């Protein structure tokens, strides 16, 4: 049965502690990190632990319940590390029939099946048996716990290795230029911006021609804080307005922009910044229900202080004249007078 967007968002509503969502998103992010660790060799959530090995044994050595994948396994002799090579469990089962001892082991295998069946710790085996006691250093990736209350949590366990994530991805990409000798400390803001043409073509969202996206039935929703101090909100407004000129049509049929008064960069600020935009775009794609407003909430210490509707640009929220000013229902979306 294919996984629908609705099913995905059920697990993906909080990523990186985004305000206004629930803890299932943390589960989804952990699953994504697991996939990157297992299949893309992303080295996040890396820990070091030791395994004490007695002579004449192959194991098993219990792995911790948060184990995901081994990065490396080694022992040290005279200050020199010796690394064991990973092999499959099937290869290990065949080799274990050879009971000869060696000076030291040189291969290892892991058995994760017990943990997946009944929660029993996964196991690690070494081959061949060592003829002397030794200490193995095991470096491996772990699964961070989910956050039960993201709104009040003081930390984001998924990002213990955020420096690695940032430098290995975003910053490395942003430093790419057409000059292999590039050094950021020597960047000349007068002469060097043109050197970033290669990465700019990849990252800059400046092409207003979304005709192919529209032709495939795509729907796009953007929300942006008017109080964003990191990026100029008028650039996003200019891009949206440029769509109509470039495509010769009103973009509301497939692309809607929601400007959020008082919101900082992505979240925070004095505005109603807790917004569920994901459900809105899913309803648009799967049910044909275009979003005519997004309800945002402003939280303090986990409690909702007020709510506001955010309207499709160029509309803005206007007070009805009656009702609580803390309630979104007391406001309507209307086009401002020019």
pLDDT digits (tens, 9 = 90+) for 141-199: 777 665 555 555 544 444 444 444 444 444 555 555 555 555 656 667 777 777 777 66
DSSP state of 82: E
State percent of the chain over pLDDT 90. Answer: 27
Q: Say whether pLDDT at 55 is over 90.
A: no
d(CA 6, CA 2): 11
State the pLDDT at residue 169.
47
* Assigned token pair, 294: 């997004």
User: To which residue do tokens 């274990």 refer?
Assistant: 96
Domain boundaries, the chain: 46-142, 221-334
State the pLDDT at residue 128.
86
Q: Say whether pLDDT at 332 is over 60.
A: yes
State the pLDDT at residue 56.
82
Question: How many CB atoms within 10 Å of residue 61?
Answer: 19
CB half-sphere exposure, 59, CA atoms < 13 A: 23
Stretch 58-64: mean pLDDT, rounded? 86
**Residue in 326, 274, 325 with CA at minimum distance from that of residue 305:** 326
d(CA 309, CA 334): 11
State the pLDDT at residue 225.
94
User: To which residue do tokens 């060696």 refer?
Assistant: 102
State the pLDDT at residue 176.
53
d(CA 205, CA 201): 9
Across-strand partners of 224? Answer: 259
Contacts of 89 (CB under 8 A, 6+ apart): 109, 110, 111, 125
Across-strand partners of 142? Answer: 67
More confident call, 8 vs 231: 231
11 pLDDT band, cuts 50/70/90, is: very low
More confident call, 178 vs 314: 314
What global pTM score does this model have? 0.51
* Assigned token pair, 322: 């009656």
> DSSP secondary structure string, 317-334?
EEE-SSS-TTSGGGEEEE
3-class state of residue 112 by DSSP: coil
């Amino acid at each position: 049965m294919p996984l629908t967007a609705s099913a995905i968002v059920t697990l993906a509503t909080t990523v990186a502690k985004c305000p206004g969502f629930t803890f299932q998103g943390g589960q989804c992010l952990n699953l994504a990190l697991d996939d990157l660790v297992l299949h893309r060799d992303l080295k996040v959530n890396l820990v070091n632990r030791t395994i004490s090995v007695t002579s004449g044994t192959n194991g098993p050595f219990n792995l911790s319940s948060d184990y995901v994948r081994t990065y490396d396994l080694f022992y040290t002799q005279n200050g020199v590390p010796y690394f064991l090579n990973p092999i499959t469990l099937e290869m290990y089962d065949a080799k274990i029939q050879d009971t000869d001892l060696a000076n030291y082991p040189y291969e290892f295998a892991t058995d994760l099946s017990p943990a997946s069946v009944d929660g029993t710790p996964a196991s690690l085996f070494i081959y061949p048996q060592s003829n002397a006691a030794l200490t193995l250093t095991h470096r491996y990736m772990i699964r961070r716990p989910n956050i039960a209350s993201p709104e009040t949590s003081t930390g984001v366990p998924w990002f213990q290795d955020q420096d690695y994530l940032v430098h290995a991805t975003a910053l490395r990409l942003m430093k790419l230029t057409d000059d292999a000798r590039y050094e950021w400390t020597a960047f000349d803001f007068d002469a060097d911006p043109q050197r970033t043409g290669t990465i700019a073509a990849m990252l800059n969202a400046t092409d207003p021609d979304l005709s192919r996206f529209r032709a495939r039935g795509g729907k796009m929703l953007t929300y942006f804080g008017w109080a964003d101090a990191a990026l100029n909100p008028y650039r996003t407004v200019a891009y949206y307005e440029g769509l109509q000129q470039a495509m010769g049509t009103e973009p509301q049929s497939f692309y809607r922009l929601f400007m959020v008064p008082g919101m900082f960069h992505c979240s925070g600020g004095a505005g109603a910044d807790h917004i569920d935009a994901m459900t809105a775009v899913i309803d648009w794609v799967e049910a044909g229900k275009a979003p005519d407003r997004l309800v945002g909430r402003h939280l303090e210490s986990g409690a909702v202080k007020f709510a506001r509707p955010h309207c499709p640009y160029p509309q803005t929220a206007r007070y009805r004249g009656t009702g609580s000013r803390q309630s979104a229902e007391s406001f309507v979306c209307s086009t401002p007078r020019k």
